[in-house]
Amino acid sequence: MLLLHNSVSDWRQYFSRQKTDAKNKNIDDEIERTTEEIQVSLFQLFRFADHIDLVLMITALCFMLGDVVCALATIILFGRITGLFATTQFAVDCDNQYQNSVSAVINNTACPFGIDLNPLNYDRIHKLCHYDNKTISTTLAPLTPLFHENVMHLVYLFFGFSILTFICAVLEYIFWTIAAKRQTSRMSVLLFRSLIQRVSEYIF
């Protein structure tokens, strides 16, 4: 009788183990199916977005486009400013500037008797003379009003586009952040509801 009871108990444990293994296998298969890489299209990434999120994302794209345009404009303006300085020809060339500078120095020097400074002998004998305590102004040609106006116009445009670039970048970040947080919060709520539903089905 004891042997029969042990045999029945062994068979019961065997069948219960088989059922448990089958359940575990089904769970493992389900986990493998859910963990497989699922191809998601670009539009499915935004399937949790509502109308407000779409408006926010479109606005952020517009600000991003404005940021790119303003950044390119600042680069072009910087090149034009540097090119304007490099290509502008002043009214007095280098030789005339040198002659004028020498003449200005000669007019403000006192030389010993018999020494007459001029632009031709200045480089050789100017050390024999002494200079009066007078301020010799620079002889570089001043900037013409037209050149100054052109440069300042480009500089104002450069700073204006730089400010617009900063504003567009900040607004783009703000709108993208708001849209992303709204969608992630919505996904979190749906995921929580799905987990609760699965747990309740498993328990009951």
Q: Residue 188: its pLDDT value, please?
A: 86
Cα–Cα distance for residue pair 173/148, rounded to 1 Å: 38
Cα–Cα distance for residue pair 106/24, rounded to 1 Å: 106
153-159, long-range: CB < 8 A, 24+ apart: 154/77, 154/80, 154/81, 154/84, 155/81, 157/73, 157/77, 158/74, 158/77, 158/78, 158/81
User: Block means of pLDDT (10 residues each) for the chain, length 204 residues?
Assistant: 51 55 59 60 73 91 96 94 75 49 48 54 54 43 70 93 96 94 87 79 63
Q: Which amino acid is at 171?
A: L
Q: What are phi and psi of 131, to 5 degrees?
A: -100, 145
Q: Residue 19: its pLDDT value, please?
A: 57
**What count of residues does the chain have?**
204
Q: Residue 4: its pLDDT value, please?
A: 45
What are the structural domain ranges in the chain?
48-90+143-204, 91-142
Degrees, nearest 5: CA angle 113-119-120: 85
Q: Residue 198: its pLDDT value, please?
A: 75
Cβ atoms of residues 136 and 105 within 8 Å: yes
Q: Is 161 exposed, middle or buried (0-12, 13-18, 19+ CB in 10 A)?
A: buried
Which two three-digit tokens encode residue 177?
Answer: 């952040």
| Alpha helical stretches, state H, the chain | 2-35, 51-87, 94-107, 122-125, 145-203
